[in-house]
């Protein structure tokens, strides 16, 4: 399969027209049209519906797009390995992460990462939904969880301790929980469908049933409600750190249990080798997380 023909299809899908794809690839529009036609002829299907003003994917085109993008990116990685740029890494890096982690952690490290790698482009998808990274053509996903999906290749980057938090105003009116049993008398802000919180009690895990008047599928919505005094919620330390420092939230240690800790994982699709650009980002993120942990430790010791 001619990679130049595949590149026309990918670029036309991204830009919305063959003319724009031709400009991006540095060819004349007629050549781009011929390459797309050759690709469709080789595959035996129509990939796009073309008009004078618009381009739309067919069902077959939508199915082929993730594989086409992977082919183009793999080819770019191969060329970069043979003819490295000044920084050594080039091409498009596709990432996905949750909304809060992407904004607060990846967003904080990304400017320096981009400056250090001027030939690298990054497309960061932030969503609280679980993305099928193979179908979406992602190079790496950052997930915070006790990872159990054995069909994926994952690397643990750091711990992600969690704590219970509430606003000073809520605690003034509702009191401060001291033990697990006390949570039964509080408004617990929980993720939709989550009826229990897990706590480490000694060397065992205990799942405590919790409830409240407000639940959401978004941790950011629960975080905001907690800030506004609606109740108690469970947040990662990295997510609540700035609010604790500013006095907007208060951590709530319990005498008889500690919230189950999670891990920060880099997850790769199994269908492809991990490209150098993905490894570079993961190492940069790991270093950033280690620096943040060291900074937090120094602040705690003062």
Residues facing 123 on adjacent strands? 94
**Which pLDDT belongs to residue 301?**
46
**Which pLDDT belongs to residue 302?**
43
Residues facing 156 on adjacent strands? 265
Residues of the chain with CATH 1.10.10.10: 1-83
Residues of the chain with CATH 3.40.190.10: 89-158+262-302, 162-260
- Is residue 40 within a helix (H) or strand (E), and if so which, with residue range? helix 29-43
Tokens representing 221?
Answer: 């919505």
List the 120-126 sheet strands across, edge first: 120-126, 91-97, 140-145, 262-268, 153-160
Pair 199, 179: CB distance under 8 Å: no
Beta strands in the chain (DSSP E): 48-50, 55-57, 91-97, 120-126, 140-145, 153-160, 162-166, 188-191, 196-201, 204-209, 215-216, 232-236, 250-251, 258-259, 262-268
DSSP character at residue 184: G
- The residue ranges of the chain whose pLDDT is under 50 are 149, 271, 297-299, 301-302
Tokens representing 98?
Answer: 């949750």
Unique residue bearing structure tokens 């990295």: 238
Q: For residue 132, what are the contacts with CB-CB under 8 A and spacing of at least 6?
A: none
157-193 CB burial, b ≥16 within 10 A, e <16: bbebebbbbbbeebbeeeeebeebebbeebbbbbbee
List the 196-201 sheet strands across, edge first: 204-209, 196-201, 258-259
CATH architecture designation of domain 1-83:
Orthogonal Bundle (1.10)
For the stretch 276-300, pLDDT in tens is 888 899 999 999 998 876 655 444 5
For the stretch 260-270, pLDDT in tens is 989 999 998 76
Domain 162-260 has CATH 3.40.190.10: yes
Count of other CB atoms within 10 angstroms of residue 142: 21
What is Dmax (Cα atoms) for the chain? 73
For residues 96 and 127, give the distance between their C-alpha atoms in angstroms, rounded to a whole number.
Answer: 7
- The CATH superfamily of 89-158+262-302 is Periplasmic binding protein-like II (3.40.190.10)
């Amino acid at each position: 399969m001619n990679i130049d023909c595949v590149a026309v299809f990918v670029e036309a899908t991204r830009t919305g027209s063959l003319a724009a794809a031709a400009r991006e690839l540095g060819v004349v529009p007629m050549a781009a049209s011929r390459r797309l036609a050759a690709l469709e002829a080789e595959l035996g299907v129509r990939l796009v519906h073309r008009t004078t003003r618009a381009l739309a994917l067919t069902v077959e085109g939508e199915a082929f797009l993730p594989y086409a993008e992977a082919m183009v990116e793999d080819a770019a990685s191969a060329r970069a390995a043979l003819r490295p740029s000044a920084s050594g890494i080039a091409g498009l890096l596709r990432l996905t992460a949750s909304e809060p982690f992407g904004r607060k952690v990846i967003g904080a490290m990304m400017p320096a990462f981009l400056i250090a790698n001027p030939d690298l482009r990054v497309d960061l998808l932030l969503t609280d939904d679980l993305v099928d990274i193979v179908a979406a053509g992602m190079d790496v996903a950052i997930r915070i969880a006790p990872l159990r999906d054995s069909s994926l290749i994952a690397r643990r980057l750091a711990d992600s301790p969690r704590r219970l938090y509430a606003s000073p105003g809520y605690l003034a009116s509702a009191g401060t929980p001291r033990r697990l049993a006390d949570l039964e008398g509080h408004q617990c802000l929980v993720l939709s469908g989550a009826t229990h919180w897990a706590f480490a009690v000694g060397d065992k895990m205990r799942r405590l049933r919790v409830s409240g008047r407000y639940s959401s599928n978004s941790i950011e919505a629960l975080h905001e409600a907690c800030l506004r005094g609606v109740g108690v919620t469970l947040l990662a330390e990295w997510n609540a750190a700035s609010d604790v420092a500013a006095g907007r939230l208060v951590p709530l240690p319990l005498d008889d249990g500690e919230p189950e800790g999670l891990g920060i994982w880099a997850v790769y699709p199994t269908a492809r080798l991990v490209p150098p650009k993905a490894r570079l980002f993961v190492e940069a993120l790991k270093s950033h997380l280690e620096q943040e942990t060291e900074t937090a430790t120094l602040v705690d010791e003062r």
